[in-house]
């Protein structure tokens, strides 16, 4: 399951510079191989999103993720606070334990606000969203980006999505103070051209 990217800065004065560190966690070893070619300056970790809290990654400024949609089996795994069935909410809860801010691409039905492709912004009253907010205290804000802009250019499935943001630095969220611990070295491929092994 894809975690996405997380970036870390030394301090607030460095925000006008490129990120000092990009860490990408992806479960699919083939996607990791592609990612290393597209973004070689990042640290790529082939692993499961439910293992990120035990990887010793430390704290980040921002977490970005595009978690899988639909009926993804959780196989008894769970994030620290959210206990519902939706993977996107588990990923956001995990991000709250690693980053001060988060940006996520999630199904439109899971977002706090319906913005994309609708005539006016509407507040979502989805019961599972309310459960997520009660269990985690995380409020998802609208990004004010219409995700349907390129919808006609998609081939195959056209999911209705929203880009949402979360400020985890608010009181009560675990990752309010980022740190700079070392990031583990990515696993090496066993043979040239072979995908990286899983952790």
Choose the most confident range, by mean pLDDT, from 1-5, 9-13, 136-140, 185-189: 136-140
Q: Is residue 31 part of a domain?
A: yes
Q: Is residue 191 part of a domain?
A: no
Strand 21-26 to 141-142 pairing: unpaired
Q: Is residue 187 part of a domain?
A: no
Neighbours of 133 (CB within 10 A): 15
Distance between terminal CA atoms of the chain? 13
Q: Find the domain containing 78 and state its range.
A: 4-167
Q: Is residue 129 part of a domain?
A: yes
How many structural domains are present in the chain?
Answer: 1
Q: Is residue 119 part of a domain?
A: yes
CATH number at residue 142: 3.40.50
Q: Is residue 115 part of a domain?
A: yes
- Is pLDDT larger for residue 116 or for residue 8? 116
pLDDT per position as a tens digit, 64-85: 999 887 668 888 899 999 999 9
Q: Is residue 41 part of a domain?
A: yes
Q: Is residue 40 part of a domain?
A: yes
pLDDT per position as a tens digit, 155-173: 888 888 999 999 998 756 6
Tell me the two tokens of residue 182: 């070392």
């Amino acid at each position: 399951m894809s975690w996405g990217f997380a970036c870390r800065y030394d301090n607030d004065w460095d925000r006008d510079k490129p990120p000092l560190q990009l860490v990408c966690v992806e479960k699919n070893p083939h996607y990791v191989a592609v990612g290393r070619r597209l973004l070689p300056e990042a640290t790529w970790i082939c692993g499961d999103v439910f293992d990120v809290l035990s990887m010793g990654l430390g704290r980040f400024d921002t977490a970005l993720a595009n978690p899988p949609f639909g009926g993804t089996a959780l196989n008894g795994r769970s994030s620290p606070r959210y206990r519902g069935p939706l993977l996107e909410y588990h990923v956001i809860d995990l991000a709250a334990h690693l980053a001060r801010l988060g940006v996520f691409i999630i199904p439109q039905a899971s977002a706090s606000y319906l913005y994309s492709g609708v005539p006016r912004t509407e507040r979502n009253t989805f019961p599972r969203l309310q459960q997520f907010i009660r269990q985690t205290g995380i409020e998802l804000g609208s990004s004010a980006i219409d995700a349907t802009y390129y919808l006609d250019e998609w081939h195959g499935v056209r999911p209705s999505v929203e880009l949402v943001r979360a400020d985890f630095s608010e009181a009560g969220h675990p990752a309010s103070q980022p740190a700079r611990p070392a990031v583990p070295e990515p696993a090496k491929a066993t043979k040239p051209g072979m995908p990286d092994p899983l952790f």
